[in-house]
Amino acid sequence: MVARVLAGRYELVRFVGRGAMGEVWEGRDRLIERRVAVKLLGHDVRDAPGAELFLREARVAGGLNHPGVVTVYDLGHDEDAGTLFLVMEFVTGRDLATVLVEGGPPPVATAVDWSARGATALSAAHSAGVVHRDLKPANLMLTASGDVKVLDFGIARYVGSTHRSSRVMGTLAYMPPERFDEQPGDARSDLYSFGCVLHEFLTGNPPFEATGPVAMMNAHLRRAPRSPGEVRAGVPAELDELVLALLAKDPRDRPQSAAEVVARLDRLTARRSPASVPPWAVPTEISPRRTPVGPGGVPAVAGSATAARFASAMRALLAAKSAAERATWPAPAPPVRRFAPPSDAGPAIGKDSVDPPRRGLRRWFR
């Protein structure tokens, strides 16, 4: 079988998986013999007005240079298939949506560590004028060395412009209130989504549960979230306060920068002795395997030997971290039931008991 090659340079070596944004492949850069990840966006763009938008935003995102952001090497248009593609740094690890499905919420200190790493990357992006717009656990990669890298800067706005309904359905659990009123949002919108992610790290669930997409929108717009400490014992009061501040309905009531969030998380981390937490120790040869998206837009756990080795390593690691933390962090509550947000193919709109709170909501589902 002849390997498919994009732009005469990028050979598609192995299919990794398919998600809401298209296909992911392990690839090889034939010019400099480098292992890469290639993302084929799942939309026909030969006539799509969003193509130029994607190229413009991806170029900006590609200018980011930070260890917590997956590096974009190249982008282009595959004329044969009529799809756009991104060539990125190949990261060995698993996305945190899969990690949470696999093992539930981690120890509190681990959740703080993941969040601090993600917020640091977000701060660097915001400083460069780049807003993510689709922050969620599936876009955060836990690497084999224990770092957290943020994926897919610059892609969300393009996909939303070309396939609006399904994208909204897949990210409702993390979407800031102002987006439902068709306001463009800014860096503080990312911070709301980050608050949803931090809530999920601590409890196993995003802040709101709802029976359908319209009710989920209404929850983001009107309902007060439960603090993580109400759901799980052992969450420090300062961390509860940070999560609730990030989830403020009005952007003016949230922390005004990711740098402020990093500082608050660092103060929490400083309460622990550095020697109390063992270093990350996970296998170094693990390929990211994205399986078909399941309920809630969260990928199912891969059944390969590689995934099994990673799962075993993660369980051992989290157990070790949990034991080491007990002297400084209260013990967590029993495992929390995970709530799956509505999937991309979610229930039909219009039969929910709650009417759309604002007129702008209707246009999301045209």
Buried/exposed code over 287-315 (b: 16+ C-beta within 10 A; e: otherwise): bbbbbebeebbbbebbeeebbeebbebbe
C-alpha to C-alpha distance for 142 and 114, rounded to whole angstroms: 8
From-to residues of CATH 3.30.200.20 in the chain: 8-89
Residue 3 pLDDT grade (very low, low, confident, very high; cuts 50, 70, 90) = confident
For residue 106, pLDDT beyond 70: yes
Determine whether 134 is an active site residue. Answer: yes
**pLDDT: which is higher, 135 or 343:** 135
C-alpha to C-alpha distance for 28 and 82, rounded to whole angstroms: 21
Tell me what pLDDT residue 313 has.
58
Compute the residue count for the chain. Answer: 366
C-alpha to C-alpha distance for 70 and 60, rounded to whole angstroms: 13
Tell me what pLDDT residue 347 has.
32
Residue 37 pLDDT grade (very low, low, confident, very high; cuts 50, 70, 90) = very high
Question: Would you report the helix, strand and coil content of the chain in percent, each value rounded to 5?
Answer: 45, 15, 40
In CATH terms, the fold of domain 93-358 is Transferase(Phosphotransferase); domain 1 (1.10.510)
CA-closest candidate to residue 11, choices 28, 32, 24, 25: 28
Tell me what pLDDT residue 30 has.
96
Tell me what pLDDT residue 292 has.
38
Contacts of 362 (CB under 8 A, 6+ apart): 356
Tell me what pLDDT residue 212 has.
87
Total Cβ atoms within 10 A of residue 334: 7
Segment 52-91, tens digit of pLDDT: 666 776 777 778 889 999 988 998 887 776 778 889 999 9
C-alpha to C-alpha distance for 193 and 134, rounded to whole angstroms: 8
Neighbour-count burial of 272, counting CB atoms closer than 10 A to its CB (0-12 exposed, 13-18 middle, 19+ buried): middle
Write down the residue that tokens 């701060």 correspond to: 123
When the pLDDT of each residue in the chain is averaged and rounded to a whole number, the result is 75
Query: Counting runs of H as helices and runs of E as strands, what totals does the chain give?
Result: 12, 9
Tell me what pLDDT residue 155 has.
64
Tell me what pLDDT residue 50 has.
58
Residue 264 pLDDT grade (very low, low, confident, very high; cuts 50, 70, 90) = very high
Tell me what pLDDT residue 270 has.
76
Residue 269 pLDDT grade (very low, low, confident, very high; cuts 50, 70, 90) = confident
Residue 54: C-alpha distances to residues 20, 132, 153, 201, 363 (Å): 16, 13, 11, 30, 21
From-to residues of CATH 1.10.510.10 in the chain: 93-358
Segment 163-217, tens digit of pLDDT: 444 344 348 999 999 988 877 788 999 999 999 999 999 999 999 998 888 999 9
Torsion of CA 174, 253, 153, 317, to 10 degrees: -60
Lowest mean per-residue pLDDT among 27-36, 43-52, 263-272: 43-52
Residue 170: C-alpha distances to residues 167, 271, 347 (Å): 5, 37, 12
Segment 272-307, tens digit of pLDDT: 544 333 333 333 333 333 333 333 333 343 444 555
DSSP string across 215-241: HHHHHHHHPPPPPHHHHSTT--HHHHH
- Which one of 95, 113, 134, 352 is the catalytic residue? 134
C-alpha to C-alpha distance for 290 and 38, rounded to whole angstroms: 13
Tell me what pLDDT residue 216 has.
93
Contact 169, 343 (CB under 8 A): yes
Contacts of 4 (CB under 8 A, 6+ apart): 11, 12
Q: Which segments within the chain are labelled E, that is strand?
A: 5-6, 10-19, 22-29, 34-41, 72-78, 83-89, 93-95, 140-143, 148-150
Tell me what pLDDT residue 215 has.
93
Tell me what pLDDT residue 62 has.
78
Amino acid at 217: M
User: Which CATH number is 8-89 given?
Assistant: 3.30.200.20
C-alpha to C-alpha distance for 272 and 301, rounded to whole angstroms: 32
Mean of pLDDT values over 116-125:
95
For residue 247, pLDDT beyond 90: yes
Segment 312-366, tens digit of pLDDT: 655 555 555 555 544 445 444 444 444 444 333 333 333 333 334 444 444 444 4
Q: Does the pTM of the predicted model rise above 0.75?
A: no
